[in-house]
Amino acid sequence: MLAAARCIVYRDLLLAMRRRSDVATALLFFVIVASLFPLGVGAEPNLLRSIAPGVIWVAALLSSMLSLGRLFASDHADGTLEQILLGAAPLGVVVAAKALAHWLVSGMPLVLIAPVLALQYDLPGSLYGVLALSLLLGTPVLSLVGAIGAALTLGLRGGGVLLSLLVLPLYVPVLIMGAGSVELAAAGQGGQGQLLLLAAMLVVAAAFAPWAIAAALRISSE
């Protein structure tokens, strides 16, 4: 199972590197959205500090959604998905590996670049670690939950709109906890509670989401 998971992660990362424009589009979208808000609301430092966690988290959420539609689409189009469904490796392990590869491509760059974008909002340096940690815990949950929606809408006409309607309500708790951890840390109250809740969400998503994705793929392939 581990060998199959490694092969899937390596394959998806290799395919992503061959489609660098898709990866760059999501990252560029994140940078543009996060950079436009300081230009739109003005240069008031207190206002920028107060909106920074929410803006960066919303931008990361929307950016991660851009690549969800392509998570299984190419495998479905070329017949690879049928071979995966018929393969000997447990489907839950395979889709977990695909979700991991998706996060490494679309989520990890957001975690790395978010502290740089936070400079535009004049956030104190002590909050950069909290912001990066909240994204490190939250963005994998976005990938896992989003993969369920991507599997359910696979092959449907207008699936992108339906995918957004399915996953956005499920993203709200992650958004609230992620942005709230930074806001509480900025207020001097510590964001450990929200970070622990994000960690708990990640554990639950990692344990149950792969099997939900596998069931959704079987339903979509019938």
Reported as a single tens digit per residue, the pLDDT across 35-55 is: 888 888 877 888 888 898 999
Count of domains observed in the chain: 1
* The dihedral formed by the CA atoms of 108, 3, 201 and 189, expressed in degrees to the nearest 10: -50
Listed in sequence order, the DSSP H helices in 67-107 are 73-78, 80-86, 91-106
What's 124's DSSP letter?
Answer: -
Q: Encode pLDDT of 52-74 as tens digits.
A: 899 999 999 989 888 887 788 77
The residue range of the domain holding 14 is: 2-221
Going by C-alpha positions, the residue among 129, 152, 131 that lies closest to residue 209 is 152
- Tokens representing 160 are 């992108």
Residue 77 burial class via C-beta count within 10 angstroms: exposed 0-12, middle 13-18, buried 19 and up: exposed
Amino acid identity at 72: F
Comparing 95 with 82, which gets the higher pLDDT? 95
Q: What is the pTM of this model?
A: 0.88
